[in-house]
């Protein structure tokens, strides 16, 4: 059965009207209704959804299904954004999820009722959100405010999604595997291009190129508690064997000054703490490989730094930073629906339950003071928490030597 052909509410802004149209549908899968609108742009559905679907003209080479799924992924992103629903139990977020049949705790997508009213009635199962109402009036109010906020979010994002590259993170990747020969060819071609655009490293830079770096940080309260780093590197030292990788560990005390934190091996290496020869310098950790690496050899290894006693106070830092003290990091790449990082730099932060930041954003090649500048709402650098975790893969470009890349965050005011 096709979409419900009800007349458009022409007195509403275009994007909001399109979202309300989707929310009123009683039959069918909504992303397939979007696909139907793309296939028949002059029909009722296509006309109503045009304020949303017209932006997909830049990716006209994609299949209709890919375009519909990409737009739907953007809509789901908006429902989760803090500018739309400021908390995980926001009434607006729950009402939007019901109207657009998105999963919420205890109600999978295939369990929503047919009509919008019946779906709002299902939200009575969440008394901590809607205070056990006798009618659906609170849900209708939340839907009205939520759809306006979501329309505003989409309006801001669509202005920024101007190229195929901008839309690429939303493109679905349903194939569970990839062609190995094609991957090898692409890898070689990309590596050649990357070497051509990498800047000159310093004389003291470690003579390795990082194919993959995954940094996972665990918070305790508002402080960094543990940092685990996985690396896949390629030796680029033409003059001799590369025996160990040098790692630096720093924490921040109450006075915001850096303090040394030992780095320990996890696998693929063994650690050696090297004391400084001069006063004022800090120790470093050498992560020794099982055997020296020759030019072109690779090593996959992991290390961790566990910071001292922390409680619910800030440790003087509001970012997780990666300094490129070697020859660079490959441009990021993800597989399986943009979920699995297989190349480049990825940073993950897991926050404590109940101690969540106000905002998180990624930065690249900024000074330390510039990292504190929180982007405006709708900016592509802002990241969305999934539960109490967030991650970003730097797919935009290679990570250059002598630069810094990371995730920054801001905390809500203490009450």
Is the pLDDT at 11 greater than 50? The verdict is no
| Phi, psi dihedral angles at 25 (to 5 degrees) | -65, 135
Are 243 and 250 in contact by the 8 Å Cβ rule? The answer is no
pLDDT band at 150 (very low <50, low <70, confident <90, very high): very high
CA 212 remoteness from chain centre: 17
Rounded Cα distance, 218 and 214, in Å: 13
Instruction: Say what the pTM is.
Output: 0.56
Q: For residue range 167-201, what is the model confidence (pLDDT) as tens digits?
A: 988 988 654 444 545 555 555 555 555 555 788 88
Average pLDDT for 15-33: 92
* Architecture of the domain defined by 180-410: Sandwich (2.60)
Q: How far is CA 70 from CA 53, 66, 159, 338, in A?
A: 10, 6, 16, 12
Q: Which residues pair with 247 in a beta bridge?
A: 285
Give domain limits for the chain.
Answer: 14-170, 180-410
Tell me the range of 191-200, 296-305, 335-344 where mean pLDDT is highest: 296-305
Rounded Cα distance, 223 and 229, in Å: 18
Please give the pLDDT value at position 241: 83
């Amino acid at each position: 059965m096709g979409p419900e052909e009800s007349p458009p509410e022409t007195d509403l802004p275009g994007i909001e009207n399109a979202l309300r149209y989707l929310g009123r549908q009683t039959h069918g899968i909504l992303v397939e209704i979007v696909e139907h609108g793309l296939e028949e742009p002059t029909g009722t559905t296509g006309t109503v959804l045009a304020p949303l679907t017209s932006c997909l003209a830049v990716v006209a080479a994609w299949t209709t299904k890919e375009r519909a799924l990409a737009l739907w992924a953007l809509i789901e992103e908006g429902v989760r954004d803090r500018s739309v629903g400021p908390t995980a139990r926001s009434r607006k977020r729950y009402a939007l999820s019901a109207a657009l049949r998105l999963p919420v705790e205890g109600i999978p997508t295939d369990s929503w009722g047919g009509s919008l009213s019946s779906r709002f009635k299902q939200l009575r199962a969440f008394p901590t959100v809607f205070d056990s109402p006798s009618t659906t009036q609170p849900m209708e109010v939340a839907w009205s405010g939520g759809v306006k906020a979501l329309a505003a979010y989409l309006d801001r994002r669509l202005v920024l999604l101007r190229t195929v590259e901008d839309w690429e993170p939303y493109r679905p990747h349903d194939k569970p595997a990839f062609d190995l020969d094609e991957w090898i060819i692409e890898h070689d071609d990309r590596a050649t291009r990357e070497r051509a655009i990498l800047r000159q490293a310093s004389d003291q830079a470690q003579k390795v190129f990082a194919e993959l770096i995954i940094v996972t940080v665990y918070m305790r309260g508002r402080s960094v508690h543990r940092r685990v780093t996985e690396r896949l590197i390629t030796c680029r030292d033409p003059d001799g064997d590369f025996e160990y990788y040098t790692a630096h560990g720093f924490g921040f005390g109450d006075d915001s000054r850096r303090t040394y934190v030992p780095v320990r091996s996890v696998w693929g290496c063994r650690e050696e703490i090297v004391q400084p020869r001069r006063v004022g310098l800090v120790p470093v950790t050498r992560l020794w490989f099982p055997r020296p690496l020759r030019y072109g050899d690779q090593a996959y290894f992991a290390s961790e730094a566990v910071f001292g006693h922390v409680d619910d106070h800030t440790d003087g830092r509001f970012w997780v930073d990666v300094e490129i003290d070697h020859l660079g990091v490959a441009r990021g790449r993800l597989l399986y629906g943009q979920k699995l990082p297989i190349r480049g730099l990825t940073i993950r932060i897991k926050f404590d339950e109940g101690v969540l930041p106000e905002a998180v954003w990624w930065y690249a090649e900024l000074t330390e003071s510039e990292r504190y500048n929180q982007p405006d709402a709708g900016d592509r650098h802002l990241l969305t928490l999934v539960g109490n975790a967030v991650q970003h893969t730097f797919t935009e470009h290679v990570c250059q030597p002598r630069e810094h890349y990371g995730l920054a965050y801001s905390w809500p005011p203490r009450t």
